[in-house]
Amino acid sequence: MSFAEVAVDAPIGSRRTFTYAIPSKLNVVVGQMVQVPFGTRMCDGIVFQITDSPKFSPARPIELSDSFGPLLSKTQLDLAYWISDYYLSSLFGSVSLMLPPYLRNRTRSFISLSSSEIDLSGLDIVNECILKLVRSRRKGQITEETLLDLLKKQIGRDQPYEKIINQMVRRRILIRSWAWRIPKLDFISLDKNRILIRDESALTLTKPQSEALQQINESQRFGKHDAFLLYGVTGSGKTEVYLQALDQCLKQNRRGIVLVPEISLTPQMVRRFESRFPGKVAVLHSGLSLSEHRRTWLGIHRGHYQVVIGPRGALFAPVENLGLIVIDEEHEWTYKQQDPEPRYHSRAVALHLARLTNAVVILGSATPDIVSYHRAILGRQLRLLELPERVGVGKAPIPLATVEVIDMRKELQEGNRSIFSRALQEALPSVIEKGEQVVLFINRRGSAATVQCRDCGYVIRCHSCDIVLTYHESPERMLCHQCNRRSSVPVCCPSCGSYRIRYLGIGTQRVTQELEYLIPGISVLRWDIDVAKAAEGPGFLLDRFVNREAQVLVGTQMVAKGLHIESVTLVGVILADVGLHLPDFRAGERIFQLLCQVSGR
């Protein structure tokens, strides 16, 4: 008999596997998904190793194995081991990063009523509610997850529902059973629905671009692991270096992954890469529907695509024969996953993945992370490549934007009570009259950052996380930007009952209103996470602005990253020092990066 070492989907908090016997009726291989008994329940698992002798005896048998076969390669399993060890996460939690959403949480528990005589003595209101909910189902059974959600809504969250259900199962009032979802794993090519973009030829490189590309391609030709920090000012042609380096990678029959910091930036990057490599580019991000995600993931798994583009999750795509990893805007904090577990940084994971596959890594930025820059200068892990000039139409490079800093305290003393400086108020009409476009950046959503009582000083806060709620005028509500909790706008102070409520601070909604008041008839687009969620796609609002459906784009950090729109000749930053005094030791660095990036638009 053979035995399998399986990483189990259970809160064990270590990078250990569990030993299971392989029944003769099952075909089990390394990298395959299985269902195994764990304690009193059934769990999902991934096979990490097949052995002839058990590491633990007696070994319980594997219940089911996935007919699809191995989902993960040895490289992915090794990477999961490293993530689990380095970030102190569970092994299954680490390996689940490499599974598509529809292949996670496959084992579900069902609750049904016992068919035998039921002892109903000693039942309280919670027990009765559970029985009522189970009876109300058509087939007389309900998933345990759905049952828990309904109980929390109907009774409240302060009851130990899991414990109560377990007691009812032990008393045989309820029966718990397990089922394994069998998802569809068919592959239909997306190419027939894809609008292919005209094939674009490579551009002529400047001397700094050529020197950088030469070093990158030299590492690729010898097939050795290497990592570069491509430090280039905004508009210096970093993307063209990525494209030509990827072209060299594909010529060697290897594949590449390109990471971008935001889903909203994916369409613009995809256009560039799709035009250079038509039919070879796959897009992978959390905004896809389950069917789109399934087809794309399977297409990558079966080798139909040579290039994968997306935010940090695209790093775990099943790309075989990986040769190049590009991380654009490598300084962005969005490359670090805070929650849920495992909490990892894409840059560190990409460097380790490249070591496992002998691939080349390019970290690109106009404002690199201080740690990355320090390592590159000292030659530790990274080699520094610089693009010091913007790419011009002719031989002469384009100069960087002229930046003017306005002290709004001085303007207030001189009588300017507007949120816009006099210089910006004068520049806006003149730029618009020329048919050019404007980007206004403020790193706050909503209309007012704080709602405060004038009499007692009480500030409206979130009941869940104690963060100050932001006032949004359209639709009118109070919103927590941490947990997304919503509440109505207070008519009077909850503390003292005063009706003297004031709204302090400004956000994107307020900037849009002030701009329409300042220049009547102006067309404005607002781009922040609130409107982006309601848009038709990640690139919908940007496409509207590029097509000149608006003269001004008002937005948060989204407008500061990687946008290339030739008609934009003016950028205004409202409250440039917002965030400078946050309790974060990197606050100064992040504000500097944001301002440099947005001025580069």
pLDDT tens-digit map of 527-536 = 877 676 666 6
Backbone dihedral angles phi then psi of residue 345, each to the nearest 5 degrees: -115, 125
Q: What is the DSSP code (8-state) at residue 214?
A: H
Q: How far is CA 123 from CA 147, 165, 167, 312, in A?
A: 18, 12, 11, 49
pLDDT at position 520 over 60: yes
Q: What is the distance between the alpha carbons of residues 185 and 247, in angstroms, rounded to a whole number?
A: 31
List, in sequence order, every residue forming a beta bridge with 230; answer none if it has no partner. Answer: 364, 385
Task: Say if residue 196's pLDDT is above 70.
Answer: no
Cα separation, 107 vs 104, in Å, equals 9
Mean pLDDT of 241-265: 92
Strands lying side by side in the sheet with 32-38: 60-61, 18-21, 3-8, 41-51, 32-38, 64-70
Q: Which residues of 405-443 are buried (b: 16+ CB within 10 A; e: fewer)?
A: ebebeebeeeeeeebbbeebeebbeebbeeeebbbbbbb
Where helices occur in 161-289 by DSSP H, the ranges are: 161-170, 207-221, 238-251, 266-276
- Give the residue, 560 or 163, on which the prediction is more confident: 163
pLDDT band at residue 195 using 50, 70 and 90 as cut-offs: very low
**Percent of the chain with pLDDT strictly greater than 70:** 93
Closest to 251 in 3D by CA, of 283, 290, 280: 280
pLDDT of residue 307: 96
- Comparing CA positions, the residue from 266, 218, 209 lying closest to residue 242 is 209
Q: How far apart are CA 478 and CA 460, in angstroms?
A: 9
The enclosing H or E element of 151 equals helix 144-154
Return the pLDDT at 292: 87
Higher pLDDT, 29 or 584: 29
* Residue 278 and residue 307 in contact, taking contact as beta carbons nearer than 8 Å: no
- Lowest-pLDDT range of 20-24, 38-42, 128-132, 478-482: 478-482
- Given this model, what pLDDT does residue 267 score? 76
DSSP secondary structure letter of residue 312: G
10 Å CB burial of residue 356 (0-12, 13-18, 19+) is middle
- Find out whether 202 and 273 touch, Cβ atoms under 8 Å: no
Helix (H) or strand (E) holding 520: none
pLDDT tens digits, residue range 87-107? 999 999 999 999 988 888 888
What is the rounded distance in angstroms from the CA atom of residue 543 to the CA atom of residue 172? 60
Lowest mean pLDDT among 138-147, 281-290, 489-498, 558-567: 558-567
pLDDT at residue 4 is higher than 90: yes
Cα torsion angle, 34, 35, 37, 41, sign: positive
Percent of the chain with pLDDT over 90: 43
The helix/strand count (H/E) of the chain reads as 17, 25
Shortest CA distance to 258 belongs to which of 337, 327, 353?
327
Task: Tell how strand 307-310 and strand 383-387 pair up.
Answer: unpaired
How many whole angstroms separate alpha carbon 379 and alpha carbon 394? 34
Model confidence at 471, in pLDDT bands (50, 70, 90)?
confident
pLDDT in tens, 372-415: 999 999 999 999 999 998 887 666 788 888 999 999 889 888 99
